[in-house]
Amino acid sequence: MPPAPPTHGPLPVAGFSSAGVACGIKANGNRDLLVVTSDRPATVAGVFTLNRVQAAPLHVSRQVVTGGVCRAVVINSGNANACTGDTGLTDARSMVRLCAHQLDLPTEQVAVCSTGVIGAPLPMTQVEAGIADACGQLSADGWADSADALRTTDLVAKAHTVQGVVNGREITLTAIAKGSGMIHPNMATMLGLVATDASITADALQAALSQANGRTFNRISVDGDTSTNDCVLVLANGQDEPITCEHPDWAVFADLLEAVLSPLAQAIVADGEGATKLVTVQVEGAQTELQAEQLARQIARSSLVKTALFGNDPNWGRIVAAAGQAAGEHDIPLNSNDCSLQIAGVAILAAGKWLGSDAEAAASEAMLADAYTVCLRVGDGDAAATMWTCDLSYDYVRINAEYRT
């Protein structure tokens, strides 16, 4: 795991300002629009959803990432601007134009994101007022309000900061994210934004983000659904000699990026719609990391496993069966006689043999905790992988049944 310890945050990042405001997109009057800007050109990288139904803002922001330079990001919550046709694309471009005008920036250096209800047109009168308001309130200390403005069904705002030394200089990475429902790995399963004062080339930044995302936001599951709007952007505005993929400190930077994203990924699962517990799914003893990830992914997304977690039921058969399903789909060698399982630190299965009702009773008691680990060993290989998931509760159904009503 990355070595950088988290700091208390979110902390300011040199050269960056942000603000989060309420402009009336959300009926409850909560913050629903934010702007983040750099006072100098910033290298940019991005990862986007693989859902073939993609919101209008993604088409605009992809172009910004391709250009390699970004000076500002404008984001609204409460409305996804997805499945809104040509009007939606026009509105996304208008958000860029309005923000660029307020900040006197080139439009091609302004990215845009949206999150919320699919299919409704953006209320552009409110959006325009919100952009002007946010641009007028920009502050180095605006990260907490910005994180709050990202929220939709999130119960808590999500922000984090890490610091470390790269290329002989201390750098800061501050990240904000949102996510609670429609969460499943397929890039990126949420919205996220990272600002750093590191100096790094666009190719090196993209490589670091792809790696860190694969180990964090692509290792979480709440409900198995991937959104139309998923996007993570990283802006780096350092002005000294940029590091490249070949630089010896590239790995240090990549670890720092993973370190700032990992707590946010886990926070999204812990804040999953209706969730009552955060569960780490660890698969060990596989032949390759990819095989371990594929097994862990299926366990983490299984509705049968997740409902058992809610009921504090150490139903080891569901867990082994989910691993077996993944093994069949991905042609992974797996023999149940090689499987050993611990739930919340209690051994349930050893070399394919059930350890009895007393073990299950102890595990059920341990599963009352808010967070614990399910660890499945599948053989004597050296590879392992971790996923984060949550239970599936009655409240998940209620929240999503009432989402638009």
The pair of three-digit structure tokens given for residue 222, joined into one six-digit string: 């709440």
CA nearest neighbour of 303 among 363, 186, 376, 224:
224
Catalytic member of 37, 189, 226, 280: 189
Q: SS3 letters for the chain?
A: CCCCCEECCCCCCCCEEEEEECCCCCCCCCCCEEEEEEEEEEEEEEEECCCCCCCHHHHHHHHHHHHCEEEEEEEEEEECCCCCHHHHHHHHHHHHHHHHHHHCCCHHHEEEEEEEECCCCCCHHHHHHHHHHHHHCCECCCHHHHHHHCCCCCCCCEEEEEEEEECCEEEEEEEEEECCCCCCCCCCCCEEEEEECCCECHHHHHHHHHHHHHHCHHHEECCCCCCCCCEEEEEECCCCCCECCCCCCHHHHHHHHHHHHHHHHHHHHHCCCCCCCEEEEEEEEECCHHHHHHHHHHHHHCHHHHHHHHCCCCCHHHHHHHHHHHHHHHCCCCCHHHCEEEECCEEEEECCEECCHHHHHHHHHHCCCCEEEEEEECCCCCEEEEEEEECCCHHHHHHHHCCCC
The pair of three-digit structure tokens given for residue 301, joined into one six-digit string: 């997304």
Answer yes or no: 244 catalytic: no
Whole-number Å distance between alpha carbons of 250 and 239: 16
Strand-by-strand arrangement of the 371-377 sheet: 220-221, 383-390, 278-286, 371-377, 340-343, 346-350, 353-354
CA 323, distance to chain mean position in Å, is 24
Name residues whose C-beta falls within 8 Å of residue 389's C-beta, 6 or more positions apart in sequence.
220, 221, 222, 269, 279, 281, 299, 300, 301, 305, 306, 309
Active site residues: 189
